[in-house]
Structure 1
Amino acid sequence: MLKSISLATATLAISAACFVLLAAGQRVEAQSAGMYVNSVDLDILPAERDNFLAAIKENGAAAVTEPGCKRFDILNLASDPNHFLLYEVYENEAALKAHRETDHFKKFAAAASKMVAKRDARAMSVIASNAK
């Protein structure tokens, strides 16, 4: 009788562990799915830095109100005050395309066209997102 109770307890423990591991794996997949990143390096003309900052802050603040935009970070390279990185996270590529059709993006793009010396955009997909 003691042997059958031990076997039942072990079976239950293994089943619970498998359930927990499966659930954890599903959460990781859910966190990684549905994220499309647009990473843009920009070199700004020094005389246009303040104008660029005003324009990109306005565009970024409006972008995160869009249903498909999850994040819009504006980063400045510590060693170069005129080099910026935009880190934009969207649910999918269609959401990025929808962002580019908004009035606020078109306003930003028109203004920035005379401020940007160099632009390098890279589309990326998220493999894993590790954050608190």
Structure 2
Amino acid sequence: MFAVVVTITVHPGQMPVFMAAMLENAAASRAEPACQRFDVATDPARTDEVFLYEIYDDAAGFDAHREMPHYKVFDAAVAPLVQSKDVRTYSVVDA
């Protein structure tokens, strides 16, 4: 199992546009063969922040995710809306 956590800060005022694209991308990502989980979370106290929690079969599954046409369209569309993005990956040590 391969976990990915992403924290995205969206430019002020851009969350509605960003979130529409994010939810469409999340739905498409969940349909990928190697994607076991793709959660999108927010906190009302941090209105410009989005947290993603993703689980893939392995690192190759995550690499395949980033090559999917839906991801490339999403990434290009939201790039101007994103102020910062922190991506961290983890491999399961003990299940």
TM-score by length of 2: 0.93
- d(CA) in 1 for partners of 2:81 and 2:70? 17
More helix per residue: 1
The gaps in structure 2 that reach 5 residues or longer are: none
Which string of whole-angstrom CA distances, capped at 9 and with x for unpartnered residues, describes residues 14-46 of structure 1?
xxxxxxxxxxxxxxxxxxxxx101100110012
Please tell me the residue identity of whatever aligns with 1:61: A
Q: Corresponding residue for 1:44? A: 10
Displacement of 1:103 in angstroms is 0.8
- d(CA) in 1 for partners of 2:41 and 2:11? 16
Give the 3 Å change call, closer, same or farther, for CA 91–111 of structure 1 in structure 2: same
When the two chains are superposed, the root-mean-square deviation of aligned CA atoms in Å is 1.2
Q: Corresponding residue for 1:75? A: 41
Give percent identity, aligned residues only: 37
Compare CA radii of gyration and give the structure with the larger one.
1
User: SS where residue 86 of structure 1 aligns?
Assistant: strand
1:12-31 correspondence runs (5 A): none
Q: Corresponding residue for 2:21? A: 55
The gaps in structure 1 that reach 5 residues or longer are: 1-34
Please tell me the residue identity of whatever aligns with 2:42: N
1:1-132 correspondence runs (5 A): 35-127=1-93
Q: Corresponding residue for 1:11? A: none
TM-score by length of 1: 0.68
Higher relative contact order (CA 8 A, sep 6+): 2
